[in-house]
Chains A and B, each alone.
Chain A
Amino acid sequence: MNDLIIALIKVVFIWVWVLLIAVVMTWVERRGAAMIQDRPGPNRAGPFGLLQPLADGIKLFTKEDIIPAKAKKLLFILGPILFSLPAFSAYAVVPFGDKIVLGGKEIILQVADVNIGFLYIVALGSMAVYGIVVGGWASNNKYSILGGLRATAQLISYEVPWGLALLAIVLVYGTFSLREIALAQQGTFLGILPNWGVFKQPLGFILFIVAAYAEANRVPFDLPEAESEIVSGYHTEYGSMRLGVYLFGEYVNLCTLSALIVTFFFGAWHLPYINMASFLGPISYGIASFLVFFLKVSFFLWLFVWVRWTVPRFRYDQVMGLGWKALIPLGLLNLFLTALAIQLTA
């Protein structure tokens, strides 16, 4: 019973926390864009415009909920739900800190430490496309369908290099458990570097982050919603909070991907050269590991914003060409080199 309550608290906590990050991200996105484009951005609601997300939320909730007459009603409602579900579900296996000891009981800061966590992530990643497809199809609008088509082709193409990069990581650490991968990144590598995945898998990291941008439909891969070509792609017909759920789901997705990047390549909650567990108490260590983890996550979230407002969008054939002709061969090469290195050093 006690374990059940702890698990429930963890689920609710991480859910609320990720929602909070997504809310703040909408603000960061707009202020970041303004900063990069040398203009003030939304700065009227509250200090630094921090209440802007709240105002946006109220606006989206109170707007009239329009379902187009020609739309497929049930599917239209289902679309945003299917889109945001996989993004949240990924947090079941992503660790968000080491462990915290409360009243003599050791609590791992992860909802479920399953030994197939890695496969679970890959499976969920392949589910994300349905929300976009269903939304685009249900809108019964040619731009929406084009957006859905693009999303399908893009996601299915970039899942392969994404999975190949992760496979190389699994080869290096020899486990499917995300927590074990995180734990293995303590200490130093080759004497001077932090023992992080990015130093053992530099090519894998580049492949993973490129594929992650494509999976999240972010610039330069936001072809499914390229406004200069197909209005707004799969969510052209959406308004009010249904659109809000799509936009929100995207930020939750970004947060999940950033957490995965940190877990696999940037030492999860470990600080370089410093072993926090050696001088912090059990409770403060738990909190510190949580904070360090999300400090790293926030950097990658900022990177998503930074890239969005700096890099122009690809052409569609370039996106497909990059995926199939560059990333997949490189992913296979990386897998081969990793296996070879492990074989030679073992």
Chain B
Amino acid sequence: MDIYFWFFALVAVASGIFMVTAREPLPGALGLLTTFISLASLYLHLHAPLVAIFQITIYAGAILVLVVFVIMLLMTPDEELSVKQYNLSYKSMGAIAGVAMIALLLVGVRGIACIVGEKALPSDFGQPGLIGKLLYSDFLLHFEVVSVLLLVALVGAIYISKRNL
């Protein structure tokens, strides 16, 4: 029984459920923050400190801050999120998507178990330097493609937000 794993897994799931069901927007965002932080703790537990830190810096520190920013711009603290999409087609679509996601995750978990098995980790597994070397040698093309993708997204965002350039 891995107490560390179960603790953070339960916190992540509980705060995720809280985030989905929260009526007020900011507590919901804080629930998401809790999920992110517990996920980061799980990554740390899996000997992936770099992924954990990126999880916090990028998701909790940048993306969620933007979400909070939008909440503060668009709503007042007294407003609550109203249930607007409460019809059968949305509900059934959500259910199908949820089941499909769980199935996909299960397949993924089985796949990982087959590939990794019970192998012992090398001592420098997950170190930032090693990941950097991999990124700039074996995965250089992927890395550059992703950077071009981000650049395109950036240009697109500026084009959409500025009506007359």
A residues within 8 Å of B by Cβ?
70, 72, 74-75, 78, 114-116, 119-120, 122-123, 125-127, 129-130, 133-134, 136-138, 140, 145, 148-149, 152-153, 155-156, 159, 176
Q: How far is the CA of A120 from the CA of B56 in the complex (A)?
A: 9
A to B contact number (C-beta, < 8 Å): 77
Say yes or no: A137 contacts B65, CB within 8 Å: no
Contact A126 B57 (CB under 8 A): yes
* B-chain residues with CB within 8 Å of residue A159 when the two chains form the complex: 61-62
Complex: chain A residue closest to B68, CB-CB: A133
Per-residue CB proximity of B59-74 to A under 8 Å, as 1/0?
0111001101100110
Cα distance A145–B61 when bound, in Å?
19
Name B53's closest neighbour in chain A (CB-CB). Answer: A119
The distance from the CB of B74 to the nearest CB of chain A, in whole angstroms, is 11
Sampled A-B contacts (27; CB under 8 Å): A75-B26, A75-B27, A75-B30, A115-B127, A116-B50, A116-B128, A119-B50, A119-B57, A123-B53, A125-B61, A126-B61, A126-B65, A127-B60, A129-B61, A129-B65, A133-B26, A133-B65, A136-B72, A137-B72, A140-B76, A152-B68, A152-B69, A152-B72, A153-B69, A156-B66, A156-B69, A159-B62
Q: Judging by beta carbons under 8 Å apart, are B73 and A149 in contact?
A: yes
B26 near A134 with CB under 8 A, answer yes
Q: How far is the CB of A103 from chain B (nearest CB, A)?
A: 31
Chain A residues with CB under 8 A of B57: 119, 122-123, 126
Instruction: Report the Cα distance A148→B76, complex, angstroms.
Output: 12
Question: 14 additional contacts, CB 8 Å, given A75-B27, A133-B65?
Answer: A72-B24, A78-B30, A116-B50, A119-B50, A126-B57, A127-B60, A127-B61, A130-B68, A134-B30, A136-B72, A137-B26, A137-B77, A152-B65, A156-B66
Enumerate chain A residues within 8 angstroms of B49, measured Cβ to Cβ.
114, 116, 119
Which 5 residue pairs are nearest across A and B when measured between Cβ atoms?
A126-B61, A119-B53, A123-B56, A140-B77, A123-B57
A146 to B27, CA, bound (A): 18
Binding site for A on B (CB under 8 A): 24, 26-27, 30, 33, 49-50, 53, 56-57, 60-62, 65-66, 68-69, 72-73, 76-78, 127-128
A-side interface mostly? helix
- Chain B residues near A153 (CB, 8 Å)? 69
Say how far A115's CB is from chain B's closest CB, in angstroms. Answer: 7
**Bound: A271/B76 CA distance, A:** 53
| Contacting pair A145 B72 (CB below 8 A) | yes
- Smallest distance from the beta carbon of B161 to chain A beta carbons, Å? 14
Instruction: Say how far A150's CB is from chain B's closest CB, in angstroms.
Output: 10
How far apart are the CA atoms of A148 and B65 in the complex, in Å?
11
In the bound complex, how far is the Cα of B64 from the Cα of A133, in angstroms? 12
* Cα separation A129 to B24 with both chains bound (whole Å): 19
A126 touches B56 (CB 8 A): yes
How far, in whole Å, are A133 and B33 apart by their CA atoms in the complex? 13
What separation, in Å, do the CA atoms of A109 and B31 have in the docked complex?
36
A129 to B69 Cα, complex, angstroms: 11
Closest Cβ of chain A to B12, distance in Å, is 17
Distance A178 CA – B54 CA, assembled complex (angstroms): 18
Residue of B nearest to A146 (CB): B72
Residues of A within 8 A of B30 (CB): 75, 78, 130, 134
The answer for the CA separation of A130 and B60 in the assembled complex, in Å, is 10
A71 — nearest CB in chain B belongs to which residue? B77
**A145, B73: Cα distance in complex, Å:** 9
* CB–CB B33/A130 < 8 A: yes
CA distance A148 to B66 in the complex (A): 13
Query: Nearest chain B CB to A317's CB is how many angstroms away?
Result: 17
Taking CB as reference atom, which chain A residue is nearest B37? A127
Give the shortest distance, in Å, between A73 (CB) and chain B (any CB): 12
| Best-buried of A119, A123, A133, A138 by chain B (most CB within 10 Å) | A123
For residue A152, which residues in chain B have a CB less than 8 angstroms away from its CB? Answer: 65, 68-69, 72
Please state if B56 and A127 are interface contacts (CB–CB under 8 Å): yes
Contacts of B77 in A (CB 8 A): 72, 137-138, 140, 145
Q: Across the interface, which residues of A come within 8 angstroms of B61, CB to CB?
A: 123, 125-127, 129, 159
User: Considering only CB atoms, which chain B residue lies closest to A176 in the complex?
Assistant: B128
A12–B53 Cα gap in the complex (Å)?
A: 25
The answer to whether A148 touches B128, judged by C-beta atoms less than 8 angstroms apart, is no
CA distance A131 to B33 in the complex (A): 12
The distance in angstroms between the C-alpha atoms of A72 and B28, with both chains bound, is 14
Expressed in whole angstroms, the Cα–Cα distance for A137 and B53 within the complex equals 27
User: Could you tell me if A156 and B24 are in contact, using CB atoms closer than 8 angstroms?
Assistant: no
User: Taking the nearest CB of chain A, how far is it from the CB of B115, in angstroms?
Assistant: 26
Give chain B nearest CB distance to A165 CB in angstroms. Answer: 15
In the complex, how many angstroms separate the beta carbon of A322 from the nearest chain B beta carbon?
Answer: 19
Task: Give bound CA distance, A72 to B57, whole Å.
Answer: 27
Measured in the bound complex, the distance between the Cα atoms of B18 and A74 in whole Å is: 15
A125 CA to B53 CA, complexed, in Å: 12
